[in-house]
């Protein structure tokens, strides 16, 4: 019985640690900005998928506001450097995707308010 309780507590602790890491990932993404837009990439709705595996490998699918965005390399490099600084993250793979196509409806209410769309 004690062994089962210990395993259960370890699972809870691992789940809490994972949740904490996921919160750090989102918080860090909220510090990455397109230099031409005063809203972070997370609230802009540019992040389509966040996948963190048990080995600390982080994969992110994101898009850009426009396919020919001149700041694309800057944004991706900034995000990668910041995400790699999080304890528990071993590697970061950021993939740029264009499906579905981004539009302003993907922005958070906060971003819409900041940009004057509300």
End-to-end CA distance of the chain: 57
Strands of the chain, DSSP E? 47-52, 57-62, 91-96
Q: Residue 93 phi/psi, 5° resolution?
A: -120, 110
Q: Is the pLDDT of residue 12 over 70?
A: no
How far apart are alpha carbons 46 and 81 in whole angstroms? 18
Is residue 6 over pLDDT 90? no
Specify burial of residue 56 (Cβ count, 10 A radius: 0-12, 13-18, 19+).
middle
Look up the CATH number of the domain holding residue 84.
3.30.300.130
Q: Calculate mean pLDDT across residues 88-116.
A: 94
pTM (predicted TM-score) = 0.85
Average pLDDT, the chain: 89
* pLDDT per residue as tens digits for the range 41-88: 999 999 999 999 988 999 999 999 988 989 999 999 999 999 999 998
**Hey, which residues does 61 pair with through a beta bridge?**
49, 95
The predicted structure's pLDDT at residue 1:
47
Are 25 and 86 within 8 A, CB to CB?
yes
Q: Which of 38, 35, 17 is nearest to 88 (CA)?
A: 17
Q: What is the number of domains present in the chain?
A: 1
Domain containing 47 equals 2-114
């Amino acid at each position: 019985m004690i062994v089962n309780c210990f395993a259960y507590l370890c699972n809870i602790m691992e789940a809490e640690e994972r949740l904490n890491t996921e919160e750090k990932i989102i918080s860090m993404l909220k510090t990455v900005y397109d230099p031409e837009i005063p809203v972070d990439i997370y609230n802009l709705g540019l992040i389509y998928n966040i996948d963190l595996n048990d080995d600390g490998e982080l994969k992110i699918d994101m898009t850009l506001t426009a396919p020919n965005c001149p700041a694309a390399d800057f944004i991706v490099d900034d995000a990668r450097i910041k995400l790699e600084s999080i304890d528990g993250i071993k590697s970061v793979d950021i993939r740029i995707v264009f499906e579905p196509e981004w539009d302003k409806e993907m922005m958070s209410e906060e971003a819409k308010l900041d940009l004057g769309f509300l």
